């Protein structure tokens, strides 16, 4: 029964994830701003007793942003765009609908448990894999449910060829599944000790250097398969849709996709330069990190060239601004990363604030910009109302862009300053600075970073307000906009 | 070939999986067995030290402290001998950290004392002026979870052959015996070097505040875990 009439797509699951994107984004960024401020003003560590120290809150910030905000955004976009590129509505299959809703419910249970356990300090203490074993098991189930939903939807598709975005969603699913499973191999101690101690506690299957390798194989590739791969899926869908332009080059998208898949995993060991992992592995990590510029820039350039001849949209449509700046920050971030992965640069950069600086030009400038643009694009189509305020988007754009620039510039300076001071020696070869000298010198940069957090959070509140107004009280539209999103 | 793949999701997924799994096979597997070997003379953590390591994890000290001394003169001057792979053989998980907002701690036991840690955890800027580290006062009142640490020792002994003595056995009875004969005396030794009266009283009653286990762990980072170097 294939007709030319437009399909009525079902957005009930996508909407749920839109709400959680906004909620988790706010919470995660609020905590981020708080912990950034704690480094500049340590008295702020004592707001919530033992639950409010920098150290306890930092994993909460990273986990809520990665697994709360980012994954919600990705899934909102997935449940919206997968139907469209596969030309099938979720309403056509009760099974897919059930999986989608189950996915959301389980995800909420996991998210709330994650927040509670991390606040209590129940943690496996591997970065970005802190959750303890019962939660790990739940996450495996969630992942399988998402995979089933995706492949069930693919199974009943009308459009036979998978669009580029689908390649990236599939890669995200497989990559995270493989890495997560291996990195979280752990033995719960309760069962092996005859019922002693906490049931939540587990011990890693790997020790020391091996554990470090597996962890950073994961840590690096969590960045790859959560912060990069699915966000590329977003931009390949939403930029052409919002601009009305066809993707610039199919060949370039092929090259970038398979190149990224092959190269990304090798680069994990660049987190372990100068550590006790074998030298050849460090060198491989270093080399492949530099090679990684090719597929990363391939995607970014492909997106920028998609705007060829239509650059006037950049001034007319704030969503295009967000997406074009997102790909630009993606290029910056994927150039900066390889530079830091060069062994001699890493000797100075590692362990310093340049690293969080690098992470944040990626996540604030690329990931969050792209997710917010995607949500803005989806809103008029999901809620059948025009976007509440264009002016507000414009203001948000400039406030947040300023925030990102303040963040990474202050952290560049802080990182390089500290890295150089750690190694500075006087004319007799003695260390010139005690450690605390290298901390107190950073105060102004920490203060600037805190300010940048306040600005970015302000922008996010403007975004949330704009979205909520769009959902509830903006002018209704009768026809689905074809390309450019309508906004008042 | 790519056009063919794009219409066949199953083979597409298999292709992607092979391409991404390849690097792991080549980079990670070959070195696994060798990297797991301990350096000579290294003993595993005692149960009290393990309990301290749990507090180190719980309060997420790795957010600001590394345990990895890199092979540069500036680092060995500051922290001591650069770190060796075999020194981490009993670290599950590894606690290298990725950020040094505070100094490295891999050999902190060699140059800091129980007394220093006690003062420092209570009020860091009083010991190191300008410090931005928060105080961890709750460690002086919270009780350490020794039973879970013991469960971990039993697990790594039985599952990973970590060389613990015969007294580390599953079950409540074995735990209580070990607690009285080994853990408590070790805690008493540390409490004797401390000045906080509440901590001393608690240990005298047979309870172990987190700070005692924490200091035991921090003191174990360095030479004290090598029979020959002690």
What residue of B is the nearest CA neighbor of A170?
B13
- Mean pLDDT is lowest, of A237-241, A354-358, B5-9, B107-111, for B5-9
State the nearest Cα–Cα gap between B17 and chain A, in angstroms.
6
Three state DSSP letters for A7-28:
CCCCCHHHHHHHHHHHHHHHHH
CB–CB of A124 and B93 under 8 A? yes
Other C-beta atoms lying within 10 Å of the C-beta of residue B1: 6
Helix (H), strand (E) at residue A203: strand A202-204
Among candidates A258, A255, A170, which has minimal Cα distance to B10?
A: A170
The helix or strand, by DSSP H or E, that contains position B23, with its residue range, turns out to be: helix B9-27
User: Which residue in the set A154, A204, A217 is minimally distant from B28, CB to CB?
Assistant: A217
Nearest chain B Cα distance for residue A244, angstroms:
23
> How far apart are the C-alpha atoms of B103 and B117, rounded to whole Å?
14
- Per-residue pLDDT tens for B177-187? 999 999 999 99
Contact of A181 with chain B, judged by CB distance below 8 Å, is answered with: no
Kindly report the average pLDDT of chain B as a whole number.
94
What is residue A441's DSSP assignment? Answer: T
- Say which of A122, A170, A210 has its CB closest to residue B12: A170
Over 90: is that where the pLDDT of B26 sits? no
Would the CB atoms of B63 and A189 count as touching at under 8 Å? no
pLDDT for the residue numbered A8? 87
Beta bridge partners of A476: A385
The Cα B76–Cα B160 span in angstroms is 32
Instruction: Quote the pLDDT of residue A7.
Output: 75
Q: Which residues contact A361 (CB under 8 A, 6 or more apart)?
A: A329, A332, A333, A336, A404, A407, A408
B130 and B170, same domain (yes or no)? yes
Q: What is the DSSP letter of A317?
A: -
Q: Taking residues A234-241, report their average pLDDT.
A: 98
Residues B13 and B62 in one domain: no
Domains of chain A: 8-243 (1.20.210.10), 307-488 (1.20.210.10)
Is residue B172 domain-resident?
Answer: yes
- Chain A residues whose CB is inside 8 A of the B28 CB are 213-214, 217
Mean pLDDT for the stretch of residues A301-321:
96
A153-182 residue pLDDT tens: 999 999 999 999 999 999 999 999 999 998
CA gap A429, A15 in Å, rounded = 62
Distance of alpha carbon B217 from alpha carbon B139, whole angstroms: 13
Residue range(s) defining the domain that contains residue B139: 47-225
Average pLDDT over residues A272-296: 94
The alpha carbon of residue A365 is apart from the nearest alpha carbon of chain B, in Å, by: 22
A positions 286-315 inside 8 Å of B (CB): 288
As for the ipTM of the complex, it is 0.94
Closest residue in B to A43 (Cα–Cα): B134
Best A275, A280, A418, A437 member to test B by mutation, with max B CBs in 10 Å, is A275
Check CB contact under 8 Å for B13 and A423.
no
Model pLDDT, residue A430: 96
Residues contacting residue A113 through CB under 8 Å, at least 6 positions apart: A135, A138
Task: Point out the residue among B72, B74, B84 whose CB comes nearest to the CB of A276.
Answer: B84
Task: Tell whether B41 is covered by a domain.
Answer: no
Mean pLDDT of A36-44: 97
B14/B70 same-domain check: no
pLDDT band at residue A5 using 50, 70 and 90 as cut-offs: low
Please report the number of interchain residue pairs, chain A to chain B, with beta-carbon separation below 8 angstroms. 271
Residues in chain B within 8 Å Cβ distance of A344: none
Where are the alpha helices (H) located in A307-389, listed in sequence order? 313-316, 318-340, 343-349, 354-362, 369-383
CA pair distance A380, B58, nearest whole angstrom: 44
Contact A329, A290 (CB under 8 A): no
List, in order, residues 6 or more apart from A360 with CB less than 8 Å away.
Answer: A404, A407, A408, A411
Strand partners, A351: B99
Q: Are A202 and B57 in contact (CB under 8 A)?
A: no
Q: Are residues B20 and B131 in the same domain?
A: no
Q: Say if the Cβ atoms of B89 and A208 lie within 8 Å.
A: yes
- CB-based contact, A48 to chain B, within 8 Å: no
* SS3 state at B209: strand
Regarding whether B31 and B141 lie in a shared domain, the answer is no
Q: Give the whole-number percent of chain B exceeding pLDDT 90.
A: 86
Tell whether A47 is within 8 A of chain B (Cβ): no
Q: Are residues B99 and B146 in the same domain?
A: yes
CB nearest B94 (choices: A56, A121, A208): A208
A229–B contact, CB cutoff 8 A:
no
Per residue in A12-24, pLDDT (tens digit) is 999 999 999 999 9
Domain shared by B71 and B150, yes or no: yes
Eight-state DSSP code of residue B167: T
User: B3 falls in which pLDDT band (50, 70, 90)?
Assistant: confident
Q: Quick one: B95 and B180 in the same domain? A: yes
Q: For B169, which residue in chain A has the nearest alpha carbon? A: A193
Model confidence at A1: pLDDT above 70: no
Residue-wise pLDDT tens digits, A54-79: 999 999 999 999 999 999 999 999 99
Task: Give the chain A residue whose CA is nearest to the CA of B23.
Answer: A266
Residue B88 in domain: yes
Q: Which residue has the higher pLDDT, A182 or A462?
A: A462
- Give the span between the Cα atoms of A72 and A466, in whole angstroms: 18
Report d(CA B95, CA B112) in Å as an integer: 19
More confident residue, B35 or A143: A143
Is the per-residue pLDDT at B124 higher than 80? yes
User: Does A203 contact B155 at a Cβ distance shorter than 8 Å?
Assistant: yes
pLDDT band of residue A240 (cuts 50, 70, 90) is: very high
C-alpha distance from residue B153 to each of A202, A269, B174 (Å): 11, 30, 12
Å from A328 to nearest chain B CA? 26
- Average pLDDT along chain A: 95
Name the percent of chain A lying above pLDDT 90.
Answer: 94
What CATH number corresponds to the domain at position B158? Answer: 1.10.760.10
Q: Which helix (H) or strand (E) holds A188?
A: strand A186-188
Task: Assign B151 to helix, strand or coil.
Answer: helix
Count the domains in chain B: 2
User: Angle A164-183/A71-86 helices, nearest 10 degrees?
Assistant: 140
Same domain, B77 and B23: no
Separation between Cα atoms, residue B45 and residue A182, nearest integer Å:
25
| Partners of A188 in the β-ladder | A202
Cα three-residue angle B139-B140-B145, rounded to 5 degrees? 55
Residues B119 and B58 in one domain: yes
Tokens describing residue A314: 């950049």
B56 is a domain residue: yes
Distance CA A75, CA B80 (A): 48
What pairing do the DSSP bridges indicate for beta strands A186-188 and A202-204? Answer: antiparallel
| Phi/psi of residue B168, nearest 5 degrees | -85, 95
Whether the predicted pLDDT of A4 surpasses 70: no
Which residues on chain A are in Cβ contact (under 8 Å) with B63? 54-55, 58-59
d(CA A211, CA B92): 7
Which whole-number Å values give the CA distances from A376 to A76, A385, A390, in the listed order? 12, 11, 11
Is residue B42 domain-resident? no
Contact assignment for B74 to A431 by CB distance below 8 Å: yes
Rg (CA), chain A: 23
Whether A439 has its CB under 8 Å from any CB of chain B: the answer is yes
CA gap A327, A150 in Å, rounded = 26
Peptide bond before residue B93 is cis, with ω within 30 degrees of 0: yes
- Cα distance from B166 to chain A (closest Cα, Å)? 14
| Chain A hits for B151, Cβ within 8 Å | 189-190, 192-193, 196-198, 201
Contact A239, A303 (CB under 8 A): yes
Sequence-distant (6+) residues with CB within 8 A of A447 are: A40, A41
Residue B76 contacts A, CB cutoff 8 Å: no
Task: Judge whether B181 lies within some domain.
Answer: yes
Q: How far apart are the first and last CA of chain B?
A: 65
End-to-end CA distance of chain A: 38
Task: Please list every residue in chain B whose beta carbon sits closer than 8 Å to the beta carbon of residue A351.
Answer: 66, 97-100
Residue A202 three-state SS: strand
Interface of A with B in 133-172 (CB under 8 A): 151, 154, 160-162, 167, 170-171
Two structure tokens written together for B59: 């309060």
Chain B CB within 8 Å of residue A444 CB: no
Residues of B in contact with A268 (CB under 8 A): 23, 27
Q: Do B25 and B114 reside in the same domain of the chain?
A: no
In a domain, B130, yes or no: yes
Domain check: are B16 and B71 in the same one?
A: no
In tens, the pLDDT along A122-143 reads 999 999 999 999 999 999 999 9
Tell me whether residue B40 is in a domain.
no
């Amino acid at each position: 029964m294939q007709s030319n009439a437009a399909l009525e797509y079902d957005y009930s699951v996508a909407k749920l994830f839109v709400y959680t994107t906004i909620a988790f984004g706010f919470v995660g960024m609020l905590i981020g701003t708080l912990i950034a401020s704690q480094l500049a003003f340590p008295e702020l560590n004592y707001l919530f007793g033992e639950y409010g120290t920098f150290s306890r809150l930092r994993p909460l910030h990273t986990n809520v942003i990665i697994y709360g905000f980012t994954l919600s955004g990705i899934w909102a976009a997935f449940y919206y765009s997968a139907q469209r590129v596969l030309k099938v509505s979720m309403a056509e299959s009760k099974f897919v609908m059930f999986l989608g809703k189950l996915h959301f419910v389980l995800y909420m249970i996991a998210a709330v448990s994650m927040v509670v356990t991390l606040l209590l300090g129940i943690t496996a203490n591997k970065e970005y894999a802190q959750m303890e074993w019962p939660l790990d098991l739940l996450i495996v189930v969630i992942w399988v449910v998402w995979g089933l939903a995706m492949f069930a939807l693919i199974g009943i598709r009308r459009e036979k060829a998978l669009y580029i975005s689908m390649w990236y969603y599939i890669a995200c699913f497989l990559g995270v599944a493989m890495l997560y499973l291996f990195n979280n191999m752990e033995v719960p101690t309760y069962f092996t000790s005859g019922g002693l101690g906490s049931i939540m506690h587990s011990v890693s299957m790997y020790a020391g250097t091996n554990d470090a390798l597996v962890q950073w194989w994961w840590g690096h590739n969590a960045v790859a398969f959560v912060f990069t791969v699915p966000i590329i899926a977003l931009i390949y869908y939403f930029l052409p849709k919002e601009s009305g332009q066809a993707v610039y080059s199919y060949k370039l998208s092929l090259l970038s996709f398979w190149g990224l898949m092959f190269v990304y995993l090798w680069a994990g060991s660049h987190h372990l330069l100068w550590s006790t992992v074998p030298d050849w592995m460090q060198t491989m990590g270093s080399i492949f990190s530099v090679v990684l510029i090719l597929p990363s820039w391939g995607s970014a350039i492909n997106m920028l060239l998609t705007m060829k001849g239509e650059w006037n949209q950049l001034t007319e449509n704030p969503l295009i601004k967000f997406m074009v700046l997102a790909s630009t920050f993606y290029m910056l971030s994927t150039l900066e990363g390889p530079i830091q992965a060069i062994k001699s640069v890493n000797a100075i950069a590692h362990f310093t604030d340049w690293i969080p600086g690098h992470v944040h030009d990626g996540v604030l400038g690329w990931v969050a910009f792209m997710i917010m643009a995607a949500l803005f694009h989806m809103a008029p189509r999901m809620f059948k109302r025009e976007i509440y305020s264009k002016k507000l988007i414009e203001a948000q754009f400039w406030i947040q862009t300023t925030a990102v620039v303040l963040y990474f510039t202050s952290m560049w300076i802080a990182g390089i300053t500290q890295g150089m001071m750690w190694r500075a020696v006087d004319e007799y070869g003695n260390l010139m600075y005690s450690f605390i000298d290298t901390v107190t010198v950073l105060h102004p940069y920490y203060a600037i970073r805190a300010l940048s957090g306040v600005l970015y959070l302000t922008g996010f509140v403007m975004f949330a307000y704009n979205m909520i107004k769009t959902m509830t009280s903006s002018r209704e539209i009768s026809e689905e906009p074809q390309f450019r999103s309508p906004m008042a | 070939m790519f056009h063919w793949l794009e219409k066949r999701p199953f083979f597409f997924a298999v292709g992607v999986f092979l391409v991404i799994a390849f690097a792991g096979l080549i980079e990670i597997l070959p070195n696994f067995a060798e990297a797991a070997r301990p350096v000579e003379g290294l003993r595993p953590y005692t149960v009290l030290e393990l309990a301290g390591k749990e507090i180190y994890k719980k309060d997420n000290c790795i957010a600001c402290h590394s345990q990895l001394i890199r092979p540069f003169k500036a680092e060995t001057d500051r922290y001591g001998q650069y770190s060796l792979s075999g020194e981490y053989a009993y670290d599950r998980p590894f606690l290298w950290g990725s950020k040094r907002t505070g100094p490295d701690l891999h050999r902190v036991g060699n140059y800091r004392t129980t007394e220093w840690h006690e003062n420092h955890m209570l009020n860091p800027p009083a010991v190191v002026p300008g410090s931005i580290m928060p105080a961890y006062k709750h460690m002086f009142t919270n009780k350490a979870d020794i039973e879970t640490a013991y469960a971990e020792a039993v697990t790594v002994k039985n599952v990973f052959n970590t060389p613990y003595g015969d007294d580390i056995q599953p079950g409540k009875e074995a735990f209580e015996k070990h607690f009285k004969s080994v853990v408590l005396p070790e805690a008493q030794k540390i409490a004797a070097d401390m000045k906080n009266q509440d901590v001393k009283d608690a240990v005298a009653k047979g309870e172990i505040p987190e700070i005692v286990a924490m200091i035991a762990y921090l003191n174990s980072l360095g030479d004290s875990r090598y029979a020959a170097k002690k």
